[in-house]
Every structure is written in C-alpha cells, then in structure tokens.
Amino acid sequence: MAIQLVKGTKDLYGSEVLQWQALEQKIRQLCAVFGIGEMRTPMFEFTELFARGVGETTDIVQKEMYTFTDDGNRSLTLRPEGTAGTVRAYIEHGMHNQPQPTKLYYISPTFRCENTQAGRQRQFHQFGVEMFGSYSAAQDAEAISIASTLLEQLGVKNVELRINSLGCTECRNKYNQKLKEFIASHLDKLCDTCKERYLKNPLRVLDCKEKSCQSVIAQAPSVLDCLDEECTTHFQKVQSILKEMEIAFTVDPKIVRGLDYYTRTVFEFVSNGLTVCGGGRYDNLVEECGGKPTGAVGFGMGIERLIMILDQQQQMENDTLIYIGSMGEKGFLKAQTLTLQLRKQGIHAECDTVERSVKAQMKYANKINAKYSVVIGDAEIEQNEIELKHMQEGTKENIALSDFIKIMEQKGHF
Ligand code: ATP
Ligand code: MG
C-alpha cells in the first residue's frame, strides 16, 4: 500500500501554491512599508523555551507540542508558535542595541498536535509580527493596524476586531484571585478540565470552548474592573489611537488568548466564528527568557484560515442568488428583463436562455447552486404573485411580483 501524508498536514501545489505565493508577496510588501524586517528562526528549539515562554499550564504546552529527544538526550520541540523563538533570537543577537523599536516578521510552518477539523491542522502556517522596545499604546495600535491593513487590502469582509486588556502582573493577579473565587462557587457546572485547571490558571477557563463552561463564563467578573490607573489609561490610549486611525473595534472583556505571556492589550480578528489573527502585548517575556526588561507586542495570523475565509467569500460572490424560471411566452420575456435588472444592481441572477422545459430549468438551477428560484408564467403575471423558493432549505414564500426586485436586492446585499 502506498504511504499517505500525515493527518493534519497538506501538500500545496498547482493553483493553490500560486495563491499562497501571491499572498506571501502581499505580506512582504506590507511589512516593507511598515518597516518590519524578516526573521527566520529554526523550526525547532529547546523544549524549555516554550515551557517558559508560552506557559506550563497552557493547552499548547500541556498537550499540543511535538516534542522529541535527540541523540544528545536533549528535549527539542517543533515550533508551536512564533513568538518564543523570535524573543530568543532578539536576546541572543543583542538586538536591543539597535535603534528601538525592533520590528520583525515571519511566515513560517507551525506545529500543534490538535484534533483536526475545519481550520485546524497539525502543521499550519503563521504570518507573525513581533515588535520590541516600546511600552507605548502607539505600539499596540501599530501592531493592530498591520493586521487590519492586510485584511482590508485583501478585501476580507465580515471580520471583527475585538480588544481587551489583561493589565500588568499586579492587575492580572488581582483578577486571577477574583476569578478563582467566582469559579469556585460555580464549579459543579464546569467541564472536568476546567474543574482542575482553574486552580493553577483560572484565565484558561475563560478560553474554554465547552458549552457548559461558556454559560458560566458569561457571568464572570470583568478583568477591566481590576485594572489599576496606569493600565486603564494605557488601554484607553490604545482605543483612542485606533479611533483616530479609523479602525473599528469592540471591547470584549472575555478575550484572554491561549498563551500565558500576554500583559495589557490582547486582541483578535474574528470572521465567521473563526479567529484568523490573535495577538497582544507581552512586556515580561523578554526578561523571563533571560533578556533585559523590554516592552513588546505582536500577533500571529493563520495563513490557512485567511485563505479559507477568502475562498468562502469568493464562493459566495460567485454563487447564483436566484434562478428566474419561466413558463410560456410572457413569462419568458419577463424573466429576461428581471434578470438584467438584478444584474445591473450587482446581483448574480440567471434565467432560461435555452428554452428548456420548466422541469429542466429547475434541474439546471440546482446544478448551478442557485440559492433561490421562482417560476413566472401567465397566472403569476396576472395575479401579481410568485412563489419564492429557498433551494437548499426547501422553504417557500409567496411574494408580490412587483416587490420581487426590491426583495431580491435585500437578500443579495444582506
Ligand atoms: P484557537 O482559539 O482557534 O485555537 P489559538 O488561540 O490557539 O486559536 P494562536 O495561538 O493565537 O491561536 O495562533 C494565532 C493564529 O494561528 C490563530 O488565530 C489561527 O488563525 C492560527 N491557528 C492556531 N492554531 C491553528 C491550527 N491548529 N490550524 C490552523 N491555524 C491555526
Ligand atoms: Mg488553539
């Protein structure tokens, strides 16, 4: 039997690889105008770097890392995220001696042993940016503006930016304590993992995807109430710069991100329920990894998820919204004119131009994946009433023929 590729990995070739190359080129051009230099770190590092950097109690370190021992009995791990390696390199090459901030980016394969599903692979790729040497809110806003500009330039619609602040170490500790007490009083409703992990790392419970935990989390105290004056001012400044930059966002006090190193600002870009980009400030990480205290902020964007969103969007734009079927001469003429009217409004409509039977027309509508269909004949024109059918759901509604264009415009531009 032929050997197949490993579950959760993918070969890229043909038109797909061309799409990747085009995207990578866009990213590189964008980084050039933002003054960000490329950093290429090795695919594996000492396991300790991730344990220390990402955090011992995170899902990534506890169950998602590809760790192995080499012939010198050293424990090594395939990169499960890009920040820790970049921090190591920043320290190792004394980059703090360069004019600050130091701005670095990477586009690199990333490995996590997760259950595979849509948007979740075991080898995936991240476009990441890490910026060192500033504690200012302006650096947070710059990081967010890079991701936002890329999504805008790619024409990604339906993407929402959510931001939050976890505060400094003191605020975080204060919140952790408050959260622990809250969770302890709702323990019976939590999943088994959360029942245990809340003691060591209560923030992780906020990140839990289990439904039962989600309903408890909804009532949890807000981290924003635990921020001290400096952290509150910092977060407000991030918000005012974003407003000035005309970058839309919502504040979501439940965002904590899956990694332990974040302080103050955290953010994510979400599209159709999937996080395409996540990031934040990590002011303690450089010091924890052996460097001097250094303010830093960054993000990671999943390339596969980005491409998935772009593909779905393309698919939706190409899909036929409505097939206008017809019966008899009058209906046939009406269908031609209504179709043109909708197309002029930027809506993809199709009608019969082959003079097929009604049955064959509907078969065709199915084949081209039309979302809606109608059939217009003498009776429909006379009574000014047509039956609008939702092809996938099989539901029907009666509407006035004279309202047809207006209704389809609403459905087409929802
Ligand atoms: P999620 O909540 O979806 O598990 P995460 O919090 O683990 O995401 P990060 O560690 O912040 O994500 O990684 C940054 C980005 O990398 C994510 O927003 C996502 O786009 C992408 N990503 C993370 N894990 C995977 C994966 N297993 N497969 C594909 N892309 C991924
Ligand atoms: Mg994850």
Hey, which residues does 247 pair with through a beta bridge? none
Nearest to 190 by CA among 199, 18, 289, 287: 199
394: left (phi over 0), alpha (psi -120 to 50) or beta: left
Question: Cα angle vertex 334, ends 317, 412, to 5°?
Answer: 20
pLDDT values of the chain reduced to their tens digit, one per residue, 414 residues: 899 999 999 999 999 999 999 999 999 999 999 999 999 999 999 999 999 988 888 889 989 999 999 999 999 999 999 999 999 999 999 999 999 999 999 999 999 999 988 889 999 999 999 999 999 999 999 999 999 999 999 989 889 999 999 999 999 999 999 999 999 898 888 888 888 888 888 888 888 888 888 888 888 999 999 999 999 999 999 999 999 999 999 999 999 887 788 999 999 999 988 899 999 999 999 999 999 999 999 999 999 999 999 988 887 777 788 999 999 999 999 999 999 999 998 888 999 999 999 999 999 999 998 999 999 999 999 999 999 999 988 899 999 999 999 999 888 754
Give the integer Cα–Cα distance in Å for 153 and 149. 6
DSSP letter (8 states) at residue 272: T
* Residue to probe by mutation, ligand 1, list 299, 305, 310, most atoms within 8 Å of CB: 305
Kindly report the protein residue whose alpha carbon is nearest to atom 4 of ligand 1: 258
d(CA 36, ligand 2 centre) in Å: 26
Give the integer Cα–Cα distance in Å for 84 and 53. 6
pLDDT at res. 98:
96
The sheet that has 250-251: what strands, in order across it? 37-38, 102-111, 123-132, 296-302, 274-281, 263-271, 159-165, 250-251
pLDDT at res. 349:
94
**252 ligand 1 Cβ < 6 A:** no
d(CA 373, ligand 1 centre) in Å: 39
Contact 268, 192 (CB under 8 A): no
**114 ligand 1 Cβ < 6 A:** yes
Q: Which atom of ligand 1 is nearest to the CA of 274?
A: 3
Distances (CA, A) of 268 to 59, 242, 244, 262: 18, 14, 19, 13
Kindly report the protein residue whose alpha carbon is nearest to atom 27 of ligand 1: 120
Question: Cα angle vertex 404, ends 312, 320, to 5°?
Answer: 25
**339 ligand 1 Cβ < 6 A:** no
Cα-flanking dihedrals φ and ψ of residue 103, to 5°? -115, 120
Number of neighbours of residue 334 by Cβ within 10 angstroms: 21
Give the integer Cα–Cα distance in Å for 216 and 190. 8
Give the integer Cα–Cα distance in Å for 96 and 86. 13
Q: Which atom of ligand 1 is nearest to the CA of 305?
A: 20
**121 ligand 1 Cβ < 6 A:** yes
Cα-flanking dihedrals φ and ψ of residue 243, to 5°? -60, -45
pLDDT at res. 75:
97
d(CA 258, ligand 2 centre) in Å: 6
Kindly report the protein residue whose alpha carbon is nearest to atom 28 of ligand 1: 120
Contact 52, 45 (CB under 8 A): no
Identify the nearest ligand to the CA of 278 by its number.
1
291: left (phi over 0), alpha (psi -120 to 50) or beta: beta
Give the integer Cα–Cα distance in Å for 281 and 135. 9
pLDDT at res. 413:
59
